[in-house]
Structure 1
């Protein structure tokens, strides 16, 4: 089978006993960076020396078939440099190919920067969306944020420290200067820092320069304060664009806080 294993995101003490045992017994390891995996094994006192195969963004498409074939015959341990493989790391195409071939895929859960940042943020955790890295270019980044302006779920992003100030400035411009934001830096490491504030406040703070691994957690949009009649008009606009009435009612309900059934039935009477 393919065995996806989470590795520490900073603190070596977060390595689970299952991860250590898997490293001790593995015969084949597919690693995002084999050098990082060797360092991890040495740090954990693992003397096993399995066959190490690189699995990264550049070779995953070509290597997936080879690894799936191996996993049909033996266990193949899959590691990223930190955290869970597949989540903003290599592995998706491999898992997709394994599932299509009927090869079992299992997991050794563990550290996750996404969940760690969400947990400490103090923002709502009942519903959230992980958006990965924002685009590098300013125009593309602004467009990506603009598309999320009405997203009501808490949003989690990864970001490079070199682009943090620019991303927070764009976030303030597109989502609002007063939108609540939390920047989590160096989670689980010695210099861990969780800084909370408005988008504008954190953009000013980041302008002085920030180092380390960064997660940004952003408050979702507040429900739009509109009446039922206006909501129905928005539903009908979506319907005129080809969206099914049921789906349009659900979308506007999610954005506005209006009742989905009320929107649906009122729009149905208006058609």
Structure 2
């Protein structure tokens, strides 16, 4: 165990996404010297330490979604007491769709310094490999679990002009891609990145419609990150109301619901959904 100081420190560790060789020298050093190592999965931490030939001398505690609310005060107490606490999740940076935010907030509120040993990130790795614009992007994390919640969220994102990065579970990826294609349009460019940095890493770059069909046939497994091109820029000239009504009617004639027809027309013309809704229902 390292020596206690007047003020503890919280160190967020960027863990490898799958390939242990991506671990930084600093991550190894912190794992070996921290007084407490809080891990999302203690078994995966033990395996990582073994792969890195690192002996964790500090106390190992579990810190995951199911216990972080209860365990945070204990860890903050250790930090205030002068201990160095390292936080590691199963891969990537803590707090990014992983446990960590509560502990960071608790440490800051207690006046404890927070720093990181940065490392791999699925978000930026997938973005760089996607071949899509990366100068401006937004990270949406996991979409809602229910189909209705997912569709509602996607409708709100349909006119987002920045490249989108999403996480999705394998058993929901086919439904998510089908909804993305229906809401954003089947021609919107996208990339599905799975098992990043691992032996079976795969990046499939296709328009959403083709990607949805591919996923339905292949049923991809493993850790999945989706990258989707942003919506086209707002049209310089807004089409007149009759044109918008006709566009919605044409889509309804193909079997689309009115809601989806309005969303699709708004996306096609680079307009806000509520503006097209107002024209149709005026």
Q: Does 1:211 align with 2:221?
A: yes
Gaps of 5+ in 2: 1-8, 241-268, 272-282
CA distance in 2, matches of 1:187, 1:171: 22
Secondary structure class of the residue paired with 2:76: helix
Residue 124 of structure 1 aligns with which residue? Answer: 133
CA distance in 1, matches of 2:162, 2:234: 14
Secondary structure class of the residue paired with 1:162: helix
Question: Aligned ranges for residues 22-37 of structure 1 at < 5 Å?
Answer: 22-37=30-45
Q: CA deviation at 1:49?
A: 3.5
Q: Which of residues 142, 159, 170 in structure 2 aligns to 1:161?
A: 170
Question: Aligned ranges for residues 68-83 of structure 1 at < 5 Å?
Answer: 68-72=76-80, 73-83=82-92
Q: Which moved more, 1:221-230 or 1:199-208?
A: 221-230
Q: CA deviation at 1:104?
A: 0.3
Residue 10 of structure 2 aligns with which residue? Answer: 2
Secondary structure class of the residue paired with 2:71: helix
Q: Which of residues 171, 176, 182 in structure 2 aligns to 1:173?
A: 182
Question: Aligned ranges for residues 214-253 of structure 1 at < 5 Å?
Answer: 214-227=224-237
Residue 159 of structure 2 aligns with which residue? Answer: 150
Secondary structure class of the residue paired with 1:129: strand
Q: How big is the alpha-carbon RMSD for the aligned residues of Structure 1 and Structure 2? A: 1.8
CA distance in 2, matches of 1:59, 1:181: 36
1:124–1:154 Cα contact (<8 Å) kept = yes
Q: Which of residues 88, 91, 100 in structure 1 aligns to 2:100?
A: 91
Q: CA deviation at 1:43?
A: 1.3
CA distance in 1, matches of 2:205, 2:239: 38
Q: Which of residues 38, 41, 51 in structure 2 aligns to 1:43?
A: 51
TM-score of the superposition, structure 1-length normalised?
0.82
**4+ residue runs of structure 1 moved beyond 4 angstroms?**
none
The superposition leaves residues 93-145 of structure 1 with CA deviations (integer Å, 9 ceiling, x where unpaired) of 11011111111000000000000000111111111111111122111111111
CA distance in 2, matches of 1:170, 1:127: 24
Tell me the matched-pair count: 233
Residue 194 of structure 2 aligns with which residue? Answer: 185
Gaps of 5+ in 1: 231-254, 258-271
